[in-house]
Amino acid sequence: MEFTKVHGLGNDFIIVNGFEEDLKQPNRVAQEVCARNFGVGADGLVLVLPTEVVEADFRMRIFNPDGSEPEMCGNAIRCFAKYLYERGLTEKKSIKVETLAGIIVPELIIEDGRVEAVKVDMGPPGLKSSEIPITEVDKEQVVQESLTVNGEEYEITAVSMGNPHCVIFVDDVDSFPVAEVGPQIEEHPRFPEKTNVEFIEVLNEQELEMRVWERGAGITLACGTGACASAVAAILNDLTARKVEVHLLGGDLTIEWAEENNRVYMTGPAEEVFKGQMTEDRG
């Protein structure tokens, strides 16, 4: 199995060309190759696949280190788009990608023949409790909702970016026990499909600092859909402007929730790390 390792702000992925490689059990392959001590090491396995959807150019599947398959990943789709263009699989600079969250459109920003950044149209956020999903909610939008975890009460805002997010605003994100609280909220019974969890410190009207516990992956250096959800949550709570810089452990993303069309746009980098080959039959 030939692969390429790419990262978006330290959120790293093993990309496999599904036009050339046929992985029979991608869930198991993901568990093996994503293991940092026994495999290549990554936050996810990404497959480049043909699409049967007329409106799309390619299909992306992504598998977490635990073998689960999320609907979407913002950092992964930037890496996916860079891979397509720089491997000559497409000459398009605006690519329609089929995902479990629908068709997502990354737009490549090219300098000297290289992909310097990718701006992704992430579509409109899902704000209804049924879209996230979260149970036991009386109001239509899940804003400033109370969630009790091990006797502690948190005020949450829930957003779907094709996958579920629970956003919590804190005073000091660097000292917050993300590794302790994150998994408890991820598997909270009010989230029937589990959830990603973002802990956000609002620096000012244009900047957020974010730490994330990703569903199926744990603490990661960055989460693109999480940054989008956090920006939307901050706007819903009247804490920021509609365009913000989100500072993550791995770097920064620019997120804009456009008022004119209700769509969320994410702009950030993607970098290739190395290419390799797994000689053992793992799929």
What DSSP character marks residue 131? T
In one-letter notation, the amino acid at residue 215 is: R
The continuous run of DSSP H or E covering 4 comes out as strand 2-8
The Cα 5–Cα 59 span in angstroms is: 18
What CA–CA distance (Å, rounded) separates 239 from 219? 25
Q: Is 223 a catalytic residue?
A: yes
Catalytic residue among 34, 79, 166, 223: 223
* Annotation says 166 is catalytic: no
Whats the size of the chain, residue-wise?
A: 283
Q: What does the block give as tokens for 148? A: 């009790």
Nearest to 270 by CA among 122, 160, 107: 107
Both tokens of 241, joined, read: 């402007």
Q: Is 141 buried (19+), middle (13-18) or exposed (0-12) by CB count in 10 A?
A: middle
Determine which one of 34, 73, 79, 228 is catalytic.
73
222, β-bridge pairs: none
Give catalytic residues, as residue numbers. 73, 223
